[in-house]
Amino acid sequence: MPELYPEDQKKVDEYLASNVNAVERRTFKPLRLLGIILVVLGGITLLSYWLAINHGVI
């Protein structure tokens, strides 16, 4: 990667230090995401099973 001129590098460093692009986020919880996916998948499965029973497929 090419290096910047000193004055341009100074501008970049000032921007990065200004916290303009900093966002507070909650911690990522993979088990919570897995739980949501399983609940949604279970709901879709039950809906499709119910539809199959009502239409005489099963």
Residue 41 domain-assigned?
A: yes
Residue 43 domain-assigned?
A: yes
What is the separation of C-alpha 53 from the centre of its chain, rounded to a whole number of angstroms? 36
- DSSP for 1-55 reads -PPPPHHHHHHHHHHHHTTTT----PPP-HHHHHHHHHHHHHHHHHHHHHHHHHT
Domain region containing 35: 29-58
Give the largest Cα separation in the chain, rounded.
75
Residue 49 domain-assigned?
A: yes
Residue 23 domain-assigned?
A: no
Residue 47 domain-assigned?
A: yes
Domain count, the chain: 1
Question: What pTM did the predictor assign?
Answer: 0.57
Quote the pLDDT of residue 2.
76
Mean pLDDT by 10 residues, the chain (58 residues): 88 87 88 98 98 94
